[in-house]
Amino acid sequence: MSDGNPIYYYENGRHYQLRSIKKAEGDHRYTIEKVQVFNSNGKVKAIDDTVTTETVTINSLWELYKILGGCFSENFINGEFVYGDTSLYTLVNYVNNIGRTYVTEGERVGEATTENY
């Protein structure tokens, strides 16, 4: 999701790693998977094997930013969780790659030639 880097964020006194965001049934509905993590002697470890699944509505880039951790996103640097801009960079990466256009000579760009990313 973020160029291979894990997405961590802080919520309600706990650290989480966002595992996935997948399209769900319904307009603008997505299923997110996250796992609670902690600092174990300078390494990130999951609390247990429990993966929390939640279905959310994402209607805007602001809502996607919040799902990615928003202003509570974190990096794990030198064995510590620190506030970071991972959610911002992931959002920008998404926007920059939202569609890739494949056009052969003489074709017009349109839905038939644009592949969703």
* Residue 113: predicted pLDDT: 45
* Residue 114: predicted pLDDT: 44
Q: Which tokens in the block code for residue 26?
A: 């319904």
Domain range summary for the chain, segments of one domain joined by +: 7-116
Least confident of 1-5, 24-28, 106-110: 106-110
pLDDT at position 117 over 50 = no
Q: Which tokens in the block code for residue 116?
A: 């969703």
pLDDT at position 107 over 70 = no
DSSP state of 102: -
Q: What is the dihedral of CA 60, 66, 70, 75, to 10 degrees?
A: -120
How confident is the model over 38-81, as pLDDT tens digits? 999 999 999 998 999 999 999 999 999 999 999 999 999 999 99
Residue 21: band (very low, low, confident or very high) from pLDDT cuts 50, 70, 90: very high
